[in-house]
Structure 1
Amino acid sequence: MNNRTLLKYHSYFGIVAGVFLFVMGITGSVLIFTEDIDHLLFNKYEAEINTTDLQLDKATATVQDKFPNWDTRIIKFEKGKTILFNLRRPEARKYVFVQPSTGNIIKTINANTHFTKWLLKFHYSLHTGIIGRFLVFFAGIAFFLSLLTGIILYRKMIVKTLLFQVKIKSTNKRTFYSALHRYVGVWALLLNLVIVFTGIFLAYKVVNSGLRESIEPSPPILKTSLEASLIKIEKEYPTFNATYIRLPSSKKGNIVFNGTFEEDAFYLSKYYNKFSVDYITGAIVSIDKINEASFITKFNSSILPLHFGQYGGWVSKVLYCIVGLSGPFLSISGYFIWLKRKKLLC
């Protein structure tokens, strides 16, 4: 395949991905800071008392009593701080903030209209249901193919561009923007490959999820103590830090404690470490450690952290944000160059 044909495919893939890339790049760059944004927005619901209490059982009993038919997760449970519940039904989501010492509900909000949740749904579905999920999936594939054709097309210039040996000429707009397009594309190439590759896998999972029939939750009332279960797990596995609790959504289910082990690699997801506990007896039914899992499971575990830069603190977040914004720039500059090449723009 000669360079002219390759350039044509590179342009077409870029145009197909372009509009979606603009949207996903901007929303993705914001979503990298989800935890920080949520911390600011949720701060007004923080318990205004000086306490080290964590009445997790009281809080759970209160929430289960008031919201009996919801799939319930506890996503924040630190001593002395507001306990945060995430409640789910097929077409609804709620955040419930609970006082840590009394177990009383402070506030309930609609999670679907919460800024970061709304933005996340827009990022993966454009708020257009299953059609949007498919569009995002195919746009990801188009962007990936655009990157691959770009690598082949400019393979001889990659090293020179990284070493700033390619001059940016301003003789005309097309030459100027072509050079800028190449510089941004090359410098953001590696991380963009990581983001789009993992993004395609996530989009595939999102499409599959959208095609499955939703099941209404019918959760049982817990008979065992979450607090006692946490103490037992921490005592027997001192290197484990529980950060997420899933209550059973049916009588056949178990309580699941997710979290991290100190020895876990930085790129592995906390959701793949699982302590399954019987909701009646409190007995540990099974333990899944991501460090002992198969290569495929570890690969699946790494997709979400690598896609959103959930490692490395602020350094990785800022880097991902900058590279995420390179997508919209490449989309606009690439389209401009294509128009100039076709002489559709003066």
Structure 2
Amino acid sequence: MRKKLYKWHSYGALIAMLPLFIISLTGSILVFKVELDTLLMPEKMMVGSDSPVTRLPLDTLMAKVKIAYQNHEIGSWEIFDDKQRTDTAYLIKHQSNTWSKLYLNQYTGELLSKPVGLSDDLTDWLLDLHFKLLLDTNGMFLGAIVSLLLLFLGISGLILYRKFWLNFFTLRFSQAGRIFFSDRHKMVGISSSPVILILAFTGAYWNIAEVVHEVSEHIIEEPYLINKTLYDQSLSIQKLHDSTKNYIKDFEATYLLMPYEPEMNITFYGKVASDNPLNSDYSSTITYDKNSGKMLHSQDVRSANALHVTIDSFRKLHFGHFAGLTSQLIWCLLGLSPLILAFSGLYLYWYRNRNKKKFSKLTYRKVISSN
């Protein structure tokens, strides 16, 4: 059984090697996505130091965007009030499923960019490469398979090399290259396995969930093409925003999802004061009726069931954003471990095949000479 598991481990690694190389490298970079965006696009990402200290109402900001881009509808909105990062509005062009985004200063109302595609900025392109391998729905499906393969590789590696813990800190430098590479392969695999298993499981979940959504929403059903505002425009979005604290204590809205399909309503996602460091900035939600403004549903992560809390934790667990810079650095470095494992594993695979060929040639010569 051990030999079969080793063979499956080797073949799985060979099949997934190239996409894993891409996903691992981009994933390690994307741990610092916000920091990179701020470095590369400070004029879009950063609020000016001379800006007012109070946000403009969401109604005012949304009206400015709608006036500037009348053939678009607002699909969602990232909300920030830290006096540093700018808001981001996500737009949908009429009669299409084309989304774009623009940055704006929420304190002055100044539009800081024109709408750009969701993969036009460098880190967004890297995110598309990481998540979809630039292949849209097919890429999500492939990414799910690769994530499951990575999960299998992590589990099978732990089983195969479970006794390596006894000599975990031993690297036999003086031995042959095969032994050194074997030791390094096992050491890197064992030490990074907790993070790799987390990344593989959360990545597989997101890819599978997204594939199911895409198939059900855009293949099984006819996609809806928006051409007008789908909520009562007499509603004040800012008043709805301000009322969120009436339903969830300490609620701080971070994301607004507007109705862009007929059955959708207005939903605020946000964070709350919690002792759980894995609660994301989108862990709690409040939904309002798009016509009457009546509160329809609220979900406080502090009183949510275990399934909701677990799935919500995937966001911070996948990108390492739960213990500040320390966890980000650990996730960045250990996220690169599949690259090291790929090279060392490929060397070991090549070495064994070479020896098998040598052995078969020697056996063949002996047979010929004996005859």
1:37 aligns with 2:36: yes
Count of residues in Structure 1 that have an aligned counterpart in Structure 2:
342
Distance 1:185 1:63, change over 3 A: same
Where do 1:1-346 residues align within 5 Å?
1=1, 3-45=2-44, 46=46, 48=48, 49-55=50-56, 56-65=58-67, 66-78=69-81, 82-88=86-92, 91-110=97-116, 111-161=118-168, 164=169, 166-212=170-216, 213=218, 214-217=223-226, 218-220=228-230, 222-234=233-245, 237-250=248-261, 252-263=263-274, 265-343=276-354
Displacement after TM superposition at 1:58 (Å): 0.9
Aligned partners of 2:273, 2:349: CA distance in 1, in Å?
50
The residue type equivalent to 1:84 in the other structure is T
Task: Write the letter of the residue equivalent to 2:53.
Answer: T
- Please give the root-mean-square deviation of Cα atoms over the aligned residues, in Å: 2.5
- What is the one-letter code of the residue matched to 1:275? I
Helix, strand or coil: the match of 1:74? strand
For 2:31, give the aligned amino acid: I
- Partner AA of 2:339 in structure 1: P
Letter in 1 for 2:43: K
Per-residue deviation, 1:115: 1.3
Could you say if the C-alpha distance between residues 288 and 38 of structure 1 is closer, same or farther in structure 2, counting changes exceeding 3 Å? same
3-state DSSP class of the match of 1:263?
coil
Percent identical pairs in the alignment equals 25
Structure 2 spans left out of the alignment, 5+ residues: 359-371
Give distance in 2, aligned partners of 1:157 and 1:73: 50
4+ runs of 1 displaced by more than 6 Å? none
Pair 1:159–1:72, CA change in 2 (3 A): farther
The SS at the match of 2:99 is: strand
Normalised by the size of structure 2, how large is the TM-score? Answer: 0.83
Query: Aligned partners of 1:158 and 1:219: how far apart in 2?
Result: 61
Q: Measure, in 2, the Cα distance between the counterparts of 1:79 and 1:322.
A: 29
Which moved further from structure 2: 166-175 or 31-40? 166-175
**Worse-superposed segment, 141-150 or 82-91:** 82-91
The alpha-carbon deviation at position 320 of structure 1 amounts to: 0.3
Name the stretch that deviates more: 172-181 or 37-46: 37-46
Name the TM-score, length of structure 1 as normaliser.
0.89
1:6 aligned partner, one-letter code = L
Conserved 8 A contact 1:25-1:324 = yes
- Greater shift, 18-27 or 299-308, is seen at 299-308
Asked which structure has the greater RCO (Cα within 8 Å, sep 6+), the reply is: 1
Judging changes above 3 Å, is the alpha-carbon distance between structure 1 residues 154 and 79 closer, same or farther for their aligned structure 2 residues? Answer: closer
The amino acid that maps onto 1:231 is D
